[in-house]
Amino acid sequence: MSEGTTARQPHAGATAQLAQIGFRLRVAREERGMTISSVAEFTGLTKGFISQVERGLASASITSLAAICDALTMPMGRLFDPPKVFVNRAADRPAARLMGDGVADSILSPPGQSDVQIIETWVEPGGGFEPEPYRLPVDREFVVVLNGTLEMRIEADAYLLEEGDSMSFDARHAHIWRNPSESERTRVLWVLSSDR
């Protein structure tokens, strides 16, 4: 019996790996706008077999996996790479001192990541970054107020953000910010991103 007509059932220990391989194949196929039929036509494998592989119900030979990856223009090594996961535990996170007065920062993004930086900031009443405006060498700055209020000034425009409010702007524009409250701390999440 050929692999394209009857699927081999995986042994119990292989189930998680087959599910991961199948998931990655399905995602790659859907990202490319391809149907199972088009992959079957390109590879010569049956639609039923490809469907079983994508669902992690069947084990494919290296030759069949190579053919499917070729149809998807996807390097076969991507099927086996472990996912890149970074866990930043709150209890293990060192405090950072980035800028401003009455401010405590924590960097949430992975070390060495340059395209996106995520920073959590607690701002004491009356604290912030003023009076001299600053610019950042990134394309976008996104801010969301998790608790309290934050007064943002971008160039000549002022904005008062309350809990749950968010805003986005070009970080190269001069800006300052502060907690206008006299009694309540403000908690803010900043996301800095670069297109380059």
Residue extents of the structural domains in the chain: 12-79, 90-193
Predicted TM-score (pTM) of the model is: 0.61
Polymer length in residues for the chain: 196
pLDDT value, residue 179: 97
* Domain 90-193: CATH class, spelled out: mainly beta
The per-residue pLDDT for range 54-101, each reduced to its tens digit, is 998 888 899 999 999 999 999 998 888 877 778 878 887 777 777 788
**The pLDDT of residue 5 is above 80:** no
When the pLDDT of each residue in the chain is averaged and rounded to a whole number, the result is: 87
Domain 12-79 CATH assignment equals 1.10.260.40: yes
pLDDT value, residue 123: 95
**The pLDDT of residue 153 is above 70:** yes
d(CA 67, CA 71): 6
DSSP H or E segment with residue 123: strand 116-134
d(CA 76, CA 62): 9
pLDDT value, residue 98: 76
- The DSSP output letter for 95 is P
d(CA 104, CA 122): 5
Report the SS3 class of residue 175.
Answer: strand
The per-residue pLDDT for range 123-137, each reduced to its tens digit, is 999 999 878 888 888
Task: Say yes or no: do domains 12-79 and 90-193 share a fold.
Answer: no
pLDDT value, residue 12: 52
